[in-house]
């Protein structure tokens, strides 16, 4: 069984298996996020529900983190071994009969990894330095009589910043490239395809990656073009400014004293 | 017609090589690529220069000995043929043609365009065989083989072991070769007794030789002179996974766990 971690084929099983786990998260994440097209209470209630079940939330997070660590570390090992297998390259010509996506899985993966780090800092850890606006932890709303984080307001406000939208777009283009090769390839690596299934898997993989791309891009696009939440954003922006200014005033007051 | 030949010259394994450009004498467009090299070599010999070393044997596309990367593509511009079946009419008068050896750590250069492909022999020795009773020839139809299985096995058995798949792969991976050898025996009843042992042993040897892993780019099948499909790699991935999960049922009781 140690062949799974040592052999070239085994490492591809690891890539495929963890890739499927990460893909299932990406699908679930999109379905959750699309609730932003509903009333503010919808996604806020969903976010509150997730955070009110810490055991479930952390099981999922630890599972995903483990899958991510295996996926990334195995990719790094494979890339190093693959490069070592050809110490001297060719003078001319690119790899014949292959797509750009298939030849640049490590590059697209590296950009997606960097984006995941940014995305966590942006909306999960809510670091004020990376959103171009202010302290998102100050955004609160009242839901069913309880004060909860205003996720809707955070998204509506966050995607009105042009360079944030641009970063998200770049990441989505590379995710599209990564998945358009990766989904069908996972079945290939696991040996779960034959000549009957191969063309269907290729098409289904491409269709799913395009659907995910359109779904994810629709959110910042709709918000940036003010199709959704424009009024709510103005209200939230004022609340955020007021909260930030109130804090600044407190600090100034303390300093004055 | 006349061409310029930019060719890799390397004295031996330990001496670094470089490209040299030669002007060809008058050529006939119906010459094969190897005959063109013969003419240039004759010219070089007449001038007292060292002829270009290149591999060749049957010159009819069935032995798998010829091995040139021509303008970045193993076996030249056409599909489904070896270098010996590539004719000068595929090029234009006055073209500069770049000729390089197979590039892979597992295929060290012996001289100029000649590489050491004994790594393939060692992979074959590891498991590319079946155990049969020697003696009188058995009746041809004693073991019935379904026609479809026989056809598929023949598709895999067409592999001539030239190594173009390794030369084309961005990872210098030998998967297509190994998959063809694993599959052509694994598809037939005579190959069943050693099916799992075979795939484990051949993949192990392949990894030890320093070939890369598979990224499923499809370059290998695009350059294969026998047009062997990467579907065989998926088949090998399936066989290997099954063998890995089962383990060795004949291991010593102490080791069986």
pLDDT digits (tens, 9 = 90+) for A35-50: 999 999 999 999 999 9
> B38 and B147 share a domain?
no
Query: Could you give the CA distance from residue A219 to residue A73 in angstroms, rounded to a whole number?
Result: 31
Question: In the structure encoding, which two tokens stand for residue B168, read together?
Answer: 């084309």
Please say if the pLDDT value at position B257 is more than 50: no
Contacts of B171 in chain A (CB under 8 A): 82, 85-86
Please say if the pLDDT value at position B256 is more than 60: no
Contact B235 A192 (CB under 8 A): no
Of all residues in chain B, the percent with pLDDT exceeding 70 is 96
Contacts of A185 in chain B (CB under 8 A): 215-216
Under the banding of pLDDT at 50, 70 and 90, the label for residue A235 is confident
- Residue pair B21/B5 in contact (Cβ under 8 Å)? The answer is yes
Under the banding of pLDDT at 50, 70 and 90, the label for residue B255 is low
Of all residues in chain A, the percent with pLDDT exceeding 70 is 98
Put simply, whether B207 touches A (Cβ < 8 Å) is yes
Question: In the structure encoding, which two tokens stand for residue A224, read together?
Answer: 């940036």
Show which of residues 67-106 on chain A sit within 8 Å of chain B, judged by CB atoms.
78, 81-82, 84-99, 102-103, 105
Please say if the pLDDT value at position A233 is more than 90: no
Domain count along chain A: 1
Chain B: closest CA distance from residue A16 (Å): 11
Query: Could you give the CA distance from residue B61 to residue B159 in angstroms, rounded to a whole number?
Result: 11
Put simply, whether B213 touches A (Cβ < 8 Å) is yes
Of all residues in chain A, the percent with pLDDT exceeding 90 is 79
Q: In sequence order, what are the residues at sequence separation of 6 or more whose Cβ sits closer than 8 angstroms to the Cβ of residue A256?
A: none
CA atoms lying within 13 Å on the CB side of residue B57: 9
Which of B88, B110, B132 represents a domain boundary (last residue)?
B110
Q: Note the pLDDT of residue B113.
A: 97
- Residue pair A123/A167 in contact (Cβ under 8 Å)? The answer is no
Under the banding of pLDDT at 50, 70 and 90, the label for residue A93 is low
Domain count along chain B: 2
Pairing assessment for the beta strands B69-70 and B73-74 based on DSSP bridges: antiparallel
The alpha carbon dihedral of A138, A143, A146, A151 has a sign of: negative
Put simply, whether A194 touches B (Cβ < 8 Å) is yes
pLDDT (mean) for A243-256? 75
pLDDT (mean) for B92-106? 96
Is pLDDT larger for residue B229 or for residue A93?
B229
CA B27 vs CA B7, B93, B157: distances in Å: 17, 9, 36
Query: Could you give the CA distance from residue B119 to residue B54 in angstroms, rounded to a whole number?
Result: 18
Which of B93, B110, B127 represents a domain boundary (last residue)?
B110
Query: Is residue A96 assigned to a domain?
Result: no
> B57 and B153 share a domain?
no
Chain A: closest CA distance from residue B50 (Å): 23
Put simply, whether A13 touches B (Cβ < 8 Å) is yes
Contact A8 B219 (CB under 8 A): no
Residue B195: domain span? 118-253
Residue A132: domain span? 3-82+104-256
* Closest A-chain CA to B152: A195
pLDDT (mean) for B39-54? 97
Question: What interface predicted TM-score (ipTM) does this complex get?
Answer: 0.90
> B141 and B100 share a domain?
no
Show which of residues 142-201 on chain B sit within 8 Å of chain A, judged by CB atoms.
168-173, 200
Q: Note the pLDDT of residue A242.
A: 83
> B135 and B106 share a domain?
no
> B248 and B178 share a domain?
yes
> B103 and B123 share a domain?
no
Chain A: closest CA distance from residue B14 (Å): 14
Q: In b/e form, how buried is each residue of A55-78, taking b as 16+ CB within 10 angstroms?
A: eeeeeeeeeeeebbebbbebbeeb
Contact B212 A85 (CB under 8 A): yes
Specify the pTM.
0.92
Under the banding of pLDDT at 50, 70 and 90, the label for residue B231 is very high
Q: Note the pLDDT of residue B117.
A: 97
Contact B71 A189 (CB under 8 A): no
Please say if the pLDDT value at position B104 is more than 90: yes
> B89 and B150 share a domain?
no
């Amino acid at each position: 069984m140690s062949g799974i971690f040592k052999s070239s084929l085994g490492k591809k099983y690891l890539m495929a298996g963890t890739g499927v786990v990460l893909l299932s998260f990406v699908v679930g994440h999109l379905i959750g996020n699309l609730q932003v097209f509903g009333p503010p209470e919808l996604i806020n209630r969903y976010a509150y529900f997730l955070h009110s079940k810490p055991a479930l939330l952390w099981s999922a997070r630890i599972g995903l983190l483990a899958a991510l660590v295996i996926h990334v570390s195995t990719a790094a090992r494979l890339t190093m071994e693959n490069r070592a297998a050809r110490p001297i390259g060719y003078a001319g010509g690119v790899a014949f009969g292959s797509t750009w996506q298939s030849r640049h899985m490590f590059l697209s993966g590296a950009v997606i990894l960097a984006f995941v780090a940014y995305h966590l800092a942006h909306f999960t850890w809510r670091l004020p330095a990376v959103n171009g606006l202010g302290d998102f932890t100050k955004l609160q709303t009242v839901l069913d009589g309880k004060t909860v984080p205003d996720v809707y307001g955070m998204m509506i406000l966050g995607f009105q910043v042009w360079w944030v939208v641009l970063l998200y777009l770049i990441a989505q283009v590379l995710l599209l490239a990564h998945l358009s090769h990766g989904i069908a390839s996972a079945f290939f690596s696991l040996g779960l395809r034959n000549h009957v299934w191969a063309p269907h898997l290729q098409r289904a993989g491409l269709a799913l990656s395009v659907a995910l791309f359109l779904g994810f891009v629709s959110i910042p696009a709709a918000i940036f073009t003010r199709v959704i939440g424009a009024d709510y954003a103005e209200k939230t922006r004022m609340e955020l400014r007021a909260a930030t200014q109130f804090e600044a005033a407190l600090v100034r007051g303390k300093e004055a004293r | 017609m006349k061409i310029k030949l930019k060719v890799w010259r390397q004295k031996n394994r330990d001496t670094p090589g470089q490209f040299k450009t030669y002007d060809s004498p008058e050529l006939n467009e119906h010459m094969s690529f190897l005959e063109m090299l013969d003419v240039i070599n004759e010219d070089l010999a007449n001038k007292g220069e060292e002829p270009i070393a290149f591999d060749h044997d049957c010159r009819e596309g069935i032995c798998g000995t010829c091995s040139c990367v021509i303008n970045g593509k193993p076996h030249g511009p056409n599909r489904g043929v070896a270098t010996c079946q590539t004719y000068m009419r595929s090029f234009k008068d006055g073209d500069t043609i770049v000729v390089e050896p197979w590039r892979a750590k597992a295929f060290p250069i012996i001289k100029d365009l000649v590489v050491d492909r004994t790594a393939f022999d060692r992979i074959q020795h590891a498991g590319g065989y079946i155990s049969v009773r020697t003696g009188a020839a058995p009746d041809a139809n004693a073991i019935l083989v379904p026609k479809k299985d026989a056809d598929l096995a023949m598709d895999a058995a067409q592999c001539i072991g030239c190594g173009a798949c390794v030369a084309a792969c961005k990872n210098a991976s030998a998967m297509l070769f190994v998959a063809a050898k694993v599959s052509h025996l694994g598809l037939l009843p005579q190959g069943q007794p050693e099916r799992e042992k075979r795939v484990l042993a051949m993949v192990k040897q392949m990894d030890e030789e320093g070939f890369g892993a598979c990224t499923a780019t499809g370059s290998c099948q695009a350059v294969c002179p026998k047009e062997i499909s990467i579907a065989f790699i998926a088949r090998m991935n399936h066989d290997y996974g099954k063998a890995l999960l089962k383990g060795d049922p004949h291991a010593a009781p102490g080791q069986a766990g």
